[in-house]
Amino acid sequence: MSRTSAPAVTLVAENRKARHDYHILETFEAGMALLGSEVKAVREGRVNLRDAYCRLEGGEAWVVGLHIGPYSHGGYGEHDPLRRRKLLLHREEINKLLGKTTEKGLTVVPLKMYLKNGRVKLEVGLAKGKKTYDKRETIRQRVIERETRAAFKERRQ
């Protein structure tokens, strides 16, 4: 039997508000430069992506506003929960994101954080802001889909 099975992925946090506020055009998987206590806190699930956003400065990608709470068994050397953290992306990906955000007025938002083969990964998306009527249409479609599923389920019984 070969050892080329699918990588073990564990979802830590998801930014559901981003999918409500933006049209996600493209996604990228990025590593993060973290401290040891931050990695342990992420494994405990002490992460909040709600107010986080990404910045592209000096040819580097940074995530700002990402809250990683203190590690429960940490001692005196605690980390700053809201510090800027560097995203580890390939040069071509950073150039692509930089070009699209400056040229077309798009933005880069963090979508979810997960553990993949023991490493912390952040999925970031190239996004375009939704208008209010787009948000209402999304909610309407979700309600219609939910009612349709309920009707099918009721018919089967």
pTM score, whole prediction: 0.76
Any domain includes 90: yes
Q: Residue 85: give the domain boundaries.
A: 9-130
pLDDT confidence bin for 75, thresholds 50/70/90: low
pLDDT digits (tens, 9 = 90+) for 120-154: 999 999 988 878 777 788 888 889 999 998 888 88
The per-residue pLDDT for 5 is 66
Query: How many domains, in total, are found in the chain?
Result: 1
- Does residue 45 fall inside a structural domain? yes
Which residue from 45, 41, 1, 49 is spatially nearest to 21, judged by alpha carbons? 49
- Whether 22 contacts 128, CB under 8 Å: yes
CATH code, 76: 2.40.280.10
